[in-house]
Amino acid sequence: MKNSRLFEILYLLVEKRAVTAGELAERLEVSERTIYRDIDALSAAGIPVFTQKGQGGGIRLMDQFVLDKALLSQAQQDEILFALQAILATGGGAEEDTLSRLTALFRREGSDWLEVDFTDWGSGAAER
């Protein structure tokens, strides 16, 4: 459970760049104290995460930090994102969360997607 929470925190920081401990605690359904322990664990693991006090503060990643995504070429990254978008467009799954995380990880902007309606011409809304 803790490992998945640490990855969730890391993905949120990559996506948003700054989040308060209260926001993380509410989203992950733990206490703020647990969040600060998790931040310490991420820091001990070599992730350049830091906290900033005061108004506009929060938990942040250093600007130079990028998750290593060298295992996949840019074309392979695009294929993964397109496949997830296609699954969502056909109503085949609930991968919106995965798509948003990978889009943030690969540092891609959301793109418009062609929607295809596979129902018969003139069919009713119930059939769609």
pLDDT in tens, 73-104: 777 777 777 777 777 766 665 566 677 777 77
Q: Are residues 73 and 90 in the same domain?
A: yes
Give the pLDDT of residue 37. 92
- Write the DSSP assignment of 1-19 as a string of letters: -HHHHHHHHHHHHHHHSEE
Tell me whether residue 124 is in a domain.
no
Give residue-wise pLDDT tens across range 43-52: 888 888 888 8
Parent domain of 80: 68-118
Q: Are residues 80 and 56 in the same domain?
A: no
**CA distance linking residue 128 with residue 123, whole number of Å:** 8
- Write the DSSP assignment of 91-118 as a string of letters: T----HHHHHHHHHHTT-----------
Q: Are residues 108 and 93 in the same domain?
A: yes
Q: Are residues 17 and 33 in the same domain?
A: yes
Give residue-wise pLDDT tens across range 108-126: 665 555 555 666 676 666 6
Which of these three, 61, 92, 110, is where a domain ends? 61
Token pair, residue 125, equals: 């809304």
